[in-house]
Structure 1
Amino acid sequence: MIEEPPKLQIRKTIRRPGADQIAAFRDIPTGFLCDAMEGQGALCSTIQPVGGGRDLPTHAYGPAVVAENGPAEILATMGAVHVSQPGDIIVSAVHGHKNCSAAGDRFCGIMKNRGVAAFVTDGQMRDYPGIVAAGLPAWCAGLSPNSPYSNGPGKVGFGAVVGGRYIETGDMIVADVDGVVVIPFSQIDAVIAQLAAIQELETALDAKVQNGLSEMAAIEAMLADGTAKLVD
């Protein structure tokens, strides 16, 4: 590299979905969203509610503000907090680095004070009792008391690979006890358009199960038309 990159780059214009688009994801389970995207959309299952979800809310939704940190880095997260707005979800990418925290209780407290809806990282966190006291919902890959650095380089407001999926600033994030799902900005309206039908189908199936459904009709049909068969 001929020249060192800037320590921190912050995108001037942070795109966000509209208020009505954001509100459409309130109380929507992550499974419904994956169903609306051909069964996909979730980040790696190692990213779970901090502490297993036992002490903090386990549902959050909002537009992503992506902080692309390097391993053991936090400078970009600091920049993301600086430009965050109420309702945003700050996504800290640390390239999946382990054995170092990507945020702790004070960061969570500051984010909570700014009105940030949640924090998501492919790294680990620390200061669990303080995180609980701050009250900010968070998803991470576990806990580590080791401290990060703030040397950079880092980028804010662009995109990064987190948990095996590329997340662009402005994408919708919905997280619950099952995990974290990203809805690409370009697909937000299409996903919203499917939610009512998905909820109707789920509700109908729930009612059938509660009323005693115990057969797999699709398997019976396959056996009947020969696409499946019974063998000894």
Structure 2
Amino acid sequence: MIEAPPTLTIKTSMRRPSDAQIAAFQGVPTGFVVDALFGGGALSSKIQPIGGGRDLRSVAAGPALTADCGPADVLATFAALKFIQGGEVVVSAFAAHSGCAAAGDRLIGMMKNNGAAGFVTDGPVRDYDGIVPVGLPVWCSGLTPASPNMTGPGSIGFPVQIGGQEVETGDMIVADQDGVVVVSYERLDEAIQNLERIKEMEQTLDAEVAGGLKVPVWVEEFLASDKTVLKG
């Protein structure tokens, strides 16, 4: 006989980056973070700022608190409210289900009340006109008026699969108008070190473009090398 799974499973020991590590990602564009990870970490482009970011500021950077809901259920996300620490980004895996909402304005409002810095899900949300006044940045797959279930099973604090990436509680989430990036806990220091180099490179290139740069030096060199063949 197969036993029914527990309704909720909660990880008792949840890791968290240091304050210095969290601070290092504040105000950093997601593109910089991806470059610091050598092209990795970005969630699917299907996960976008709610409403295209037109009515709600779409910037957040903080440790992930994961809730694995499964399709059409939000019990784990509601239970996660009890475990939010200030500045965390709630990451709700909804199995990319699009038939109903992964959250609504009241649930998102309670996340904000508990100190969350943002909400990320691979499902749609509902109650757009109610979410905007809450002011919590939200990334989702779209909008729907359909209501979800609250029966479980689900889990909190464990690794989840979302947007083509694995996210675990304590990983850093960096999100802005371009989308969402995850930096695994194990790679935080590596990414922070690389970010300093990326920032300097970007600032230099910005200045060159503003000064009239038309073709980068490396493109000129590539065109002049034996890797380029000219044919009439």
TM-score (norm 1): 0.98
How do 1:44-123 residues align onto structure 2 when only pairs under 5 Å count?
A: 44-123=44-123
Structure-2 separation of matches of 1:141 and 1:230? 45
* Deviation for aligned residue 1:67: 0.3
CA contact (8 A) 1:76 1:152 kept: yes
Structure-1 separation of matches of 2:53 and 2:144? 17
User: Which residue of 2 is the match for residue 213 of structure 1?
Assistant: 213
* Deviation for aligned residue 1:56: 1.0
Amino acid at match of 1:184: S
How do 1:155-194 residues align onto structure 2 when only pairs under 5 Å count?
A: 155-194=155-194
What SS class does the counterpart of residue 147 from structure 1 fall into?
coil
What SS class does the counterpart of residue 175 from structure 1 fall into?
strand
CA-atom RMSD in angstroms: 1.0
What SS class does the counterpart of residue 224 from structure 2 fall into?
helix
Amino acid at match of 1:90: V
Structure-2 separation of matches of 1:32 and 1:39? 10
CA contact (8 A) 1:10 1:79 kept: no
CA contact (8 A) 1:85 1:114 kept: yes
* Deviation for aligned residue 1:144: 0.7
Aligned length: 232
Q: Which runs of 5+ in 2 are unaligned?
A: none
User: Which residue of 1 is the match for residue 24 of structure 2?
Assistant: 24
Q: Which runs of 5+ in 1 are unaligned?
A: none
Identity of aligned residues (%): 53
TM-score (norm 2): 0.98
Q: Which moved more, 1:214-223 or 1:51-60?
A: 214-223
What SS class does the counterpart of residue 101 from structure 1 fall into?
coil
* Deviation for aligned residue 1:219: 2.9
How do 1:37-48 residues align onto structure 2 when only pairs under 5 Å count?
A: 37-48=37-48
What SS class does the counterpart of residue 58 from structure 2 fall into?
coil
Structure-2 separation of matches of 1:124 and 1:34? 25
User: Which residue of 1 is the match for residue 151 of structure 2?
Assistant: 151
Moved over 4 A (4+): none
* Deviation for aligned residue 1:122: 0.3
